[in-house]
């Protein structure tokens, strides 16, 4: 995969984006594996949603985005959706484990 600055054609750009997307999906899988662990470890269902932790994660991501030189707000919005999807997934996993 070429670095973005080395791309000369849109085909190369698209190939690079597709490669990054594959990597992101693998990273998301790892993140959801941690949701599996959280569902297994948390003793009570009401512990699945943790608003202070959500705020902390989004603040961390905003800081990382700023450090990387990418727009903080869209990244924070993506993470808000990711966290909500993770919480829904963890609730489902929590309930399946204890069914």
Tell me if 31 is assigned to a ligand binding site.
Answer: yes
Cβ atoms of 58 and 80 closer than 8 Å: yes
Cβ atoms of 19 and 27 closer than 8 Å: no
Mean pLDDT for all residues in the chain = 97
Confidence band of 1 (pLDDT split at 50, 70, 90) = confident
Helix then strand count (H, E) for the chain reads 3, 0
Q: How far is CA 3 from the centre of its chain?
A: 23
Return d(Cα 64, Cα 56) in angstroms, integer: 12
DSSP code per residue over 29-62: HHHHHHHHHHHHH-SSGGGS--HHHHHHHHHHHH
Percent of residues, the chain, with pLDDT higher than 70: 100
Tell me if 14 is assigned to a ligand binding site.
Answer: yes
69 DSSP 8-state letter: T
Tell me if 29 is assigned to a ligand binding site.
Answer: no
Confidence band of 82 (pLDDT split at 50, 70, 90) = very high
pTM: 0.92
Tell me if 90 is assigned to a ligand binding site.
Answer: yes
Rg, the chain, Cα only? 17
Residue range 5-10: average pLDDT?
97
State the CATH number of the domain containing residue 16: 1.20.59.10
Question: For the chain, how many structural domains are there in total?
Answer: 1
Confidence band of 95 (pLDDT split at 50, 70, 90) = very high
Domain containing 55 equals 4-97
């Amino acid at each position: 995969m070429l670095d973005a600055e080395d791309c000369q054609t849109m085909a190369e750009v698209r190939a690079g984006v597709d490669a990054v997307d594959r990597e992101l999906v693998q990273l998301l899988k790892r993140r959801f594996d941690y949701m599996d662990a959280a569902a297994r470890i948390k003793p009570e269902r009401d512990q699945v949603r943790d608003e202070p932790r959500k705020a902390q994660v989004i603040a961390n991501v905003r800081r990382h985005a700023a450090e990387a030189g990418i727009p903080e707000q869209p990244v924070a919005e993506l993470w808000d959706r990711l966290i909500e999807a993770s919480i829904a997934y963890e609730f489902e996993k929590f309930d399946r484990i204890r069914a």
